[in-house]
A and B are shown apart, each in its own frame.
Chain A
């Protein structure tokens, strides 16, 4: 199988896109290191995945705001062939409402943790000619009102991907996947925070040219492609899997 003998760390993989990617890696032969912020979530995900893929799953909780915890996670993950920096937070707020805490938390999880993990895993990634897959967003390419902090983090991780790619080539490749809206808990939470979740959902669904939101598995395929030798001539590049959001707008 494509990923037999390969070891992959997927951050934020107890649910949503990360969990879908973890499952797909396992289906294609990889050993997967699951990560989540709380121990119960990690245990649940690992138990669920290990039922189908015994002996190839392990998991560690870590608070990615805590740099020591990030470095510990890298150590626990050990000799990986691919690092998938998927964990992220979507913290909304118009500029007047954004405080230092919101900014710092957004950057710690969405930008600094991917950097610290990449830095800490440099040696095995180099030795194994590995791949770093970062997850940005259509919001890393387009601006949106009310989420300027999130947009800044997602633009920053595109920069991080390019900077890693250009400096670590040819041993290590780095690719950035930019999803549009995905059917995940992150989206559900964002919808539930609105006065009319059903109406908000319709807005989301009308938004991509494909007129629906993605299932996590559809974007996980792009992550798998990025992490696999099938993308061997890609580095510092973006894979935009957004249902057509960034190509333009129907008027």
Chain B
């Protein structure tokens, strides 16, 4: 991908690992100044270390589901880089559990991290995004477009993120701020390995996941990250309010 992000500032939430790290890494390679958010400062520091450090990276650790978390993350970014062009709401949790085993804490965790944190991070970032005529990419999921069993809280939250994206895209269109959602299918990330490891037979879980998609494999985080860079750039300047599936064909139908 040859998109130039020189002089642009991005905040990527949940960038300590997995897709978030891949997006932050791709943005950094493309020349952007990147604020790395994750829940724990040590995770953020490790990610920055892996990216080689330097003056185009800054730490923006915060628990975005906590009061003051979104504001702290945004402030860390804009204080260091004096503005914000791109917010990538990527932070999420995904713990599979049958309905009977789902308690209030599990429900709240998913709705808070996936949905409420995204909304309030965007709210905190809004003054700078307006100033920069910037944009937001919300990382939803193919599970924002359809459902699977044993994932009720996640499916509910990701569906909400898709409609929230549409509403905010319309609300902010005249301010020149674009808002889009990306709906990835299963990726080969740490989160997916956690899900596999939490299942009775991790190898079988992984094989089944690979086999479930038309392309017969999981996405590499890099494949999603490239797409996010495209949407966040002027290449997508006429795109807003879209919820784009990048899911290896999963949401196109059933095999």
Binding site for B on A (CB under 8 A): 67, 94-96, 98, 100, 103, 107, 111-112, 115, 119, 122, 139-160, 162-168, 236
Contacts of A148 in B (CB 8 A): 119, 164, 167-168, 171
- Nearest residue in A to B108 (C-beta to C-beta)? A112
Report the minimal beta-carbon distance from B5 to chain A, rounded to whole angstroms: 25
Contacts of A145 in B (CB 8 A): 167, 170-171, 173
Given the complex of chains A and B, what is the CA–CA distance between A229 and B160 in angstroms? 29
Report the minimal beta-carbon distance from B182 to chain A, rounded to whole angstroms: 16
- Which 7 A/B pairs are nearest by Cβ-Cβ distance? A159-B159, A155-B163, A143-B166, A156-B160, A162-B147, A143-B167, A148-B167
Contacts A95-B123, A119-B102, A143-B166 given: A163-B171 contact, CB under 8 Å? Answer: no
A167 touches B166 (CB 8 A): no
A96 touches B123 (CB 8 A): yes
A160 touches B167 (CB 8 A): no
A–B pairs, 8, beta carbons within 8 Å? A96-B123, A119-B102, A139-B167, A147-B167, A151-B164, A152-B164, A159-B157, A163-B149
- Nearest residue in B to A148 (C-beta to C-beta)? B167
- Nearest residue in A to B115 (C-beta to C-beta)? A152
B147 touches A151 (CB 8 A): no
Contact of A159 among B104, B116, B156, B171 (CB under 8 A): B156
Report the minimal beta-carbon distance from B10 to chain A, rounded to whole angstroms: 20
- Nearest residue in B to A153 (C-beta to C-beta)? B160
Given the complex of chains A and B, what is the CA–CA distance between A96 and B149 in angstroms? 36
A95 touches B99 (CB 8 A): no
Contacts of A153 in B (CB 8 A): 160
B107 touches A156 (CB 8 A): no
Contacts of B157 in A (CB 8 A): 156, 159
Report the minimal beta-carbon distance from B140 to chain A, rounded to whole angstroms: 10
Which of A112, A115, A154, A156 has the most chain B CB atoms inside 10 A of its CB? A156
Given the complex of chains A and B, what is the CA–CA distance between A160 and B102 in angstroms? 13
How many residues on chain B are close to A (CB under 8 Å)? 44
Binding site for A on B (CB under 8 A): 67, 98-100, 102, 104, 107, 111, 115-116, 119-120, 122-123, 126, 143-144, 146-152, 155-173, 241
A143 touches B169 (CB 8 A): yes
B119 touches A142 (CB 8 A): no
Contact of A112 among B102, B111, B146 (CB under 8 A): B111
Beyond the given pairs A148-B168, A162-B147, 10 more chain A to chain B contacts, judged by CB atoms under 8 angstroms and listed by A's residue number, are A95-B172, A103-B119, A112-B107, A139-B167, A143-B163, A152-B119, A152-B160, A156-B157, A167-B98, A167-B152
Given the complex of chains A and B, what is the CA–CA distance between A143 and B111 in angstroms? 19
Contacts of B104 in A (CB 8 A): 67
Contacts of A162 in B (CB 8 A): 146-147, 155, 159
Given the complex of chains A and B, what is the CA–CA distance between A186 and B158 in angstroms? 27
Contact of A163 among B100, B147, B169, B241 (CB under 8 A): B147
Given the complex of chains A and B, what is the CA–CA distance between A167 and B67 in angstroms? 33
Which of B98, B116, B169, B241 has the most chain A CB atoms inside 10 A of its CB? B116
Given the complex of chains A and B, what is the CA–CA distance between A144 and B164 in angstroms? 9
Contacts of B171 in A (CB 8 A): 94-95, 143, 145-146, 148
B168 touches A95 (CB 8 A): yes
A159 touches B144 (CB 8 A): yes
- Nearest residue in B to A157 (C-beta to C-beta)? B156
B168 touches A236 (CB 8 A): no
Given the complex of chains A and B, what is the CA–CA distance between A153 and B115 in angstroms? 10
